[in-house]
Amino acid sequence: MIIGNIIMKKQLQITVNGELRQALVEPYYSLLDTLRDEMQLTGTKKGCDEGDCGACTVLLNGKPVCSCLVLAHAAHDAEVTTIEGVANGLELHPVQKAFVEHGGLQCGYCTPGIILSTVGFLESGEEPSEENIKHALGGNLCRCTGYTKVIESVLVAVKATNTASQAARE
């Protein structure tokens, strides 16, 4: 509603990492700004704020998206997973563990986004070939690693996930 030149903030609710959260934000707020500024979830990083770098990647209803491009109110009633919701308590997610153990990160700024892209990729059901991994992570920039160690880490995570699901079947 516009009153004079003042636009009223509107209430929204989003299930973030399994917890129902509410916020009162203006219509132009992005999901990224809402997570960081209103919900104090600063694990998700702001890089370019125009959908080029992938640092702000979160899962929206299970799928990787650039949270800087999502209108917060368009995410009303949605489910969002941020980097804060990836680990199981103190136990790292297999993807996180692989990146830590195989040098898939250096400064760490792009890492939350890359982890979420990787988690989304592993859940997409696409064949985890090196080509498909490169294609799935094409939207995430990293200026430290040169990507070689990132791809290696994802391949390790693929194996770990396969072994875990095989063990669960047996």
Partner 1 sequence: MKRFEYLEARTVRQAISMLQRHGENSLTVAGSTDFLVRWRAGVWNPDYVINIQRVAGLSRITYSARNGLRIGALVTIRAIEQHAAVRRHYPALAAAAASFAGVQVRNLATVGGNICNASPSGDTIPALLVFGSECKIVGADGERVVALDKFFTGPGQTVLEHGELLTEIRVPVPARNTGSHYIKHSPRGAMDIATVGVASLVSLDGRGGPCSEARIALGAVAPTPIRAYSAEDSLRGQALTQDLLIAAANIARNGVRPIDDIRGSAEHRKEIVGVLTRRTLEQAFNAAASGPLTFNEQRRLTVQAAF
Chain residues that interact with partner 1, rule: CB under 8 A = 1-2, 5, 7, 10, 26-28, 30, 49-54, 57, 60, 63-66, 68-71, 73-74, 117, 120-121, 127, 129, 131-132, 134-136, 138-140
Give the length of the chain. Answer: 170
Q: How far is the CB of 170 from partner 1 (least distance, A)?
A: 28
Comparison of 87 and 151: residue with beta carbon closer to partner 1: 151
Comparison of 26 and 101: residue with beta carbon closer to partner 1: 26
Q: How far is the CB of 56 from partner 1 (least distance, A)?
A: 8
DSSP-derived 3-state class of residue 167: helix
Comparison of 10 and 102: residue with beta carbon closer to partner 1: 10
Q: How far is CA 77 from CA 19, 22, 37, 94, 163, in A?
A: 12, 10, 19, 29, 35
Comparison of 101 and 126: residue with beta carbon closer to partner 1: 126
On the 0-12 / 13-18 / 19+ scale of CB atoms within 10 A, 148 is exposed
Q: How many CB atoms lie within 10 A of CB 151?
A: 17
- The pair phi, psi for residue 21, each rounded to 5°, is -120, 150
Report which DSSP code applies to 9.
P
Q: How far is the CB of 125 from partner 1 (least distance, A)?
A: 9
Q: How far is the CB of 112 from partner 1 (least distance, A)?
A: 13
Q: How many CB atoms lie within 10 A of CB 118?
A: 30
Comparison of 88 and 122: residue with beta carbon closer to partner 1: 122
Q: How far is the CB of 46 from partner 1 (least distance, A)?
A: 12
The token duo for 43 is: 């694990």
